[in-house]
Amino acid sequence: MKVPFVSLDRQYRNLRAELMAEFDRVGQSGIYILGETLERFESEIAAYCGTRYALGVANGSDALFLSLKALGIGPGDEVVTCPNSFIATTWTIVAAGARPVFVDVTDDYNMDVAQIERAVTPRTRAIMPVHLTGRPADMDAINEIAARRALAVIEDAAQAIGARYKGRRTGSLGTIAGFSLHPLKNLAVLGDGGVITTDRQDLYEKLTKLRNHGLRNRDECEFWGYNSRLDPLQAAFASLKLKHLDRWNQRCREIAGHYRTRLGGLVEVPEDREYEESVYHNFIIRTPRRDDLMRHLEEHGVGTRIHYPIPIHLQEAARGLGYRQGDFPVTERHARTMLSLPIYPELTDPEVEWVIACVESFFSK
């Protein structure tokens, strides 16, 4: 049996008729930038996340970058984040002109809140936790530190749309949040897309101009802005898929449950905590025999990935930040031992069983 790590075409085939109808509807509307379709999706996603406002932007990276700019973060400022995410978390901070300051993570892949205080300096303006793998970070502790230090909290929720922390969804847990609608995400469009959520009216009003060249209206430019708008066509696709998101996320949780129950005695597996609901954008196992297991699974038709093999602080682009190997031992240990198994709603029960059987056969040798 062949089990691809991702299979985006399956979801498209399941929704093809509805997607084509949306394509035709938007095409006939003649409105291809901003407009009612985008506004409708923004209202839906704000209601879904439990925030007052949401804005569609061009991609998830822009969602973080524009959030930083809306908060006035720039040269001379610092933002505390973690080094085990996708590179976009860090480059958006650098692109805003600020300096990323890393803290290590715990075994749930999220920011180690015990290390935040000593990373904060007089130049710190914000904390940017990453809800990695679809599991919310420890937001109560992060928000307590931020409130005491008068810092903003920017959720990098790119992988975690629909996840809950103590009954509240990601996107509503900090000052502002950025989501990705990249095709690999749990809520995905057919291209690039992103969303910003916030409860603050001042940030929302600034962002409506920031994403649209800084324009106050068609003819007046209030400040230099950017060109980062979610297209109505992609917004229509996202609106359609949002209706299925909770069911898809639940399916990922079911698959994760099978993996955890069957593989927990062979490899380290993620555990659910009673106060959170992960959406399992990735299901990551850990084993010191990772590379051999990865080859074994590939030989048996099971696709896998490593998220992420080179921590950000060890990337060539990060040399100027002054970090060295050994600075973040948990992140570095994870990079040597972790492996992502296939997990997406369209994965069939026989495919899940095959993945499990192949892992079991490796360790039975």
CATH of the domain at 95: 3.40.640.10
CATH number of the domain residue 340 falls in: 3.90.1150.10
Domain-located, residue 63: yes
Domain-located, residue 3: no
Residue 308: asked if its preceding bond is cis (omega within 30°), the reply is: yes
Residue 203 pLDDT level (bands cut at 50, 70, 90): very high
Predicted structure pTM score: 0.96
Residue 221 has pLDDT above 90, yes or no: yes
Domain-located, residue 2: no
28 with 152, same domain?
A: yes
Q: Are strands 78-81 and 99-102 parallel, antiparallel or unpaired?
A: parallel
Mean pLDDT value across residues 236-262: 98
148 with 293, same domain?
A: no
pLDDT at 335: 98
Domain-located, residue 256: yes
pLDDT at 331: 98
Number of structural domains the chain divides into: 2
pLDDT at 298: 98
Mean pLDDT value across residues 164-192: 98
Q: Could you tell me if 293 and 268 are in contact, meaning their C-beta atoms sit under 8 angstroms apart?
A: no
205 with 254, same domain?
A: no
264 with 217, same domain?
A: no
Last residue of a domain, one of 209, 242, 275: 242
Domain-located, residue 46: yes
Last residue of a domain, one of 242, 260, 277: 242
> pLDDT above 70 covers what percent of the chain?
100
264 with 351, same domain?
A: yes
Tell me the longest C-alpha to C-alpha distance in the chain.
Answer: 71
pLDDT at 108: 96
185 with 307, same domain?
A: no
Domain-located, residue 148: yes
Residue 76 pLDDT level (bands cut at 50, 70, 90): very high
Last residue of a domain, one of 210, 242, 274: 242
181 with 261, same domain?
A: no
71 with 199, same domain?
A: yes
Domain-located, residue 1: no
Supply the range of the domain harboring residue 47: 8-102+109-242
Residue 93 has pLDDT above 90, yes or no: yes
327 with 250, same domain?
A: yes
pLDDT at 363: 97
Domain-located, residue 25: yes
Token reading at 10: 């399956």
147 with 24, same domain?
A: yes
70 with 131, same domain?
A: yes
216 with 330, same domain?
A: no
pLDDT at 365: 80
